[in-house]
Structure 1
């Protein structure tokens, strides 16, 4: 059985596997998970993440009532407010005043502004790459940050999804949404391409963070 026969979610996962793995192997990610960086590097990652989650979740609001895409806008996934809580804890209440996007983050934000509210497939592509990653690989990051920096709840709330069901059933639900949406053939192709672009944009942010912290 091919990935296409199995459904679009399987095709999307297979079609983005290489870019996903490249992002996971970035110098910054390996150094952070290996305990080679100070806590400020982790805070820097969350601060840059806040900037693109802010834009992505604003775009999501524009799709909330859409009969096809509205199902992907799930309140329990939203990360902007918990990122703010983590940053308050890690950097203090004035962190917004000092927050500047790295060049790669600005490129990421610009792309989300360009397509997030106007192209339903592009929105889902970016939504998929962010939230499905947070629900799976993000849990590894949470445990490592707790081990390395002695964090408990404060500072790692970004990775806690206490408003969704258990990760496995939820991922199954999300993949059912991908499979069940009435995508046109050209939309499927462009969605896979945009998801790969999202992984590339994310990897570029890791590269910029490596320049600052590694």
Structure 2
């Protein structure tokens, strides 16, 4: 782009979020090695109308070739496949019926959801030991079940600890697809093993390695 040109997004076609790569990156303070904004954590602020962001200087040449992502490497965010899960560290806090409910039901993403977590509407999950645990670490993708039995799916801006039992965790290979879902979307879950989750992740890594070679 040249100075004064305008980049405009049209109607959304697939997924909730779009990404723009800026050579050199934006000139904003680094926090823990990242220039990302995390409004809930008071790191940076949300963009305001007509706000200007400065770009960092860079030494490398601006690429002269225009590269287009091959169709077979473009993610399909409209596909309705289940989100794949591994069982969580507090699986024994839930009845067998509660676990069956999770995998046999359809949930809807609540409009109150944000980058921290998806709240869901759907059948309540039966709890055997009560929802509360001694606070322990949480990873993005963990699925907590509070007292009302409605799953909470933690996303990239998740807190680092929590006190609700975790029935399952999203397979890493499905986290990006999950993050592109919108409030109102329906979501189903599929149980997989740890070995299957690793195999899927390695397949995705090989696919991205091939893509990097194509774009060189």
TM-score (norm 1): 0.23
Higher helix content, 1 or 2: 1
Q: TM-score, normalised by structure 2?
A: 0.23
Return the structure number with greater strand share: 2
> Whose relative contact order is higher, 1 or 2, with alpha carbons under 8 Å and at least 6 apart?
1
Is the radius of gyration larger for structure 1 or structure 2? 2
